């Protein structure tokens, strides 16, 4: 899949799935602008690693929850790189708790990172896409947003919201040659799963028909395909990638 000379902007790429997406898109020839919030060293290391792949790369420290910070990041990317072709809404957090014990702060942190963040980056980029009559937006949702998971009312709501956002925006901008799709991973081996106890992880793996967790690189390969012209007639869809977890 070639993404040669494309410019991709990715939220939350210092670690995990976002990092794997940044590397995969760079391998396909795209220039990469990404943001992060805390992981300065990992972000710097990724920027250096990507630059060695003969494409441009730039890490920005910017809170995805903060619209003004995101707008500045997008504007600087446009100036530095000369445009934007691909937006990946990936930054996300969990604050798992039973609803009966969930503080409003846990609810708001998850909704504003995962859902407001998706609005912020998409809103800051969409006018460029409309003017140039092309663009791709990919939203990293979750199986949790499709099936619902206990202790994740905040997270499931945010990820289901991303799927509704994907469908509505896809219809709104298809006539401008802009495609909008979502990817819904199952359980993927990243820091996000670190808080799970080993016995809980084993129980999850028992429920996955493929009998293992997914790898960030497996998500990145699907994202790379959807970002490419090979997916030129696909829009408004959600692609589940979960080793069969959600088969009904």
User: Closest distance between ligand NAP and the C-beta of residue 5, in Å?
Assistant: 25
In three-state form (DSSP H/G/I as H, E/B as E, the rest C), the secondary structure along the chain is CCCCCCEEEECCCCCHHHHHHHHHHHHCCCEEEEEECCCHHHHHHHHHHHHCCCCCEEEEECCCCCHHHHHHHHHHHHHHHCCCCEEEECCCCCCCCCHHHCCHHHHHHHHHHHHHHHHHHHHHHHHHHHHHCCEEEEEECCCHHHHCCCCCHHHHHHHHHHHHHHHHHHHHHHHHCEEEEEEEECCECCHHHCCCCHHHHHHHHHHCCCCCCECHHHHHHHHHHHHCHHHCCCCCCEEEECCCCCCC
Nearer to ligand NAP, 4 or 191 (CB): 191
Shortest Å, Cβ 121 to ligand NAP: 10
Q: Is 22 in the site for ligand NAP (CB under 6 A)?
A: no
**Shortest distance in whole angstroms from residue 163 CB to ligand NAP:** 12
Question: Nearest approach, Cβ of 175 to ligand NAP (angstroms)?
Answer: 29
Among 46, 74, 129, 185, binds ligand NAP (CB under 6 A): 185
Using CB under 6 A, which of the segments 167-175, 187-195, 198-206, 227-235 binds ligand NAP? 187-195
Question: Known catalytic residues?
Answer: 155
161 touching ligand NAP, by CB under 6 A: no
- List 92, 135, 161, 243, residue binding ligand NAP (CB under 6 A): 92
The residue from 39, 153, 154, 166 that contacts ligand NAP (CB under 6 A) is 39
Determine, following the binding rule CB under 6 A, whether residue 205 of this chain makes contact with ligand NAP.
no
How many Å apart are CA 248 and CA 245, to the nearest integer? 9
Give residues 105-144 in contact with ligand NAP (rule: CB under 6 A): 113, 140, 142
Query: How many residues sit in the footprint of ligand NAP (CB under 6 A)?
Result: 30
Among 35, 166, 181, 228, binds ligand NAP (CB under 6 A): 35
Q: Two tokens at 181? A: 């799709």
Q: Summarize as ranges the residues that interact with ligand NAP (CB under 6 A).
A: 11-18, 35-39, 63-65, 90-93, 113, 140, 142, 185, 187-188, 190-193
């Amino acid at each position: 899949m070639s993404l040669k000379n494309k410019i991709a902007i990715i939220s939350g790429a210092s670690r995990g799935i976002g990092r794997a997406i940044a590397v995969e898109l760079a391998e396909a020839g795209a220039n990469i602008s990404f943001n992060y919030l805390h992981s300065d060293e990992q972000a710097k290391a990724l920027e250096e690693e990507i630059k060695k792949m003969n494409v441009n790369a730039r890490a920005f420290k910017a809170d995805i929850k903060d619209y003004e910070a995101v707008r500045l990041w997008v504007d600087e990317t446009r100036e530095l790189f000369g445009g934007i072709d691909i937006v990946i809404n990936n930054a996300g957090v969990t604050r798992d708790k039973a609803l009966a014990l969930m503080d409003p702060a846990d609810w708001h942190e998850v909704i504003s990172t995962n859902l407001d963040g998706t609005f912020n980056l998409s809103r800051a980029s969409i006018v460029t896409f409309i003017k140039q009559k092309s663009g791709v937006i990919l939203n990293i949702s979750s199986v949790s947003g499709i099936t619902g998971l206990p202790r994740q009312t905040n997270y499931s709501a945010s990820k289901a919201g991303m799927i509704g956002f994907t469908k509505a925006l896809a219809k709104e901008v298809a006539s401008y040659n802009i495609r909008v799709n979502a990817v819904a991973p199952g359980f993927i081996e990243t820091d996000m799963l670190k808080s799970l106890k080993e016995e809980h992880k084993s129980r999850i793996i028992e429920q996955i028909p493929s009998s293992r967790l997914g790898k960030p690189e497996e998500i990145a390969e699907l994202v790379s395909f959807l970002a490419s012209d090979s997916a030129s007639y696909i829009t408004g869809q959600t692609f589940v990638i979960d080793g069969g977890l959600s088969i009904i």
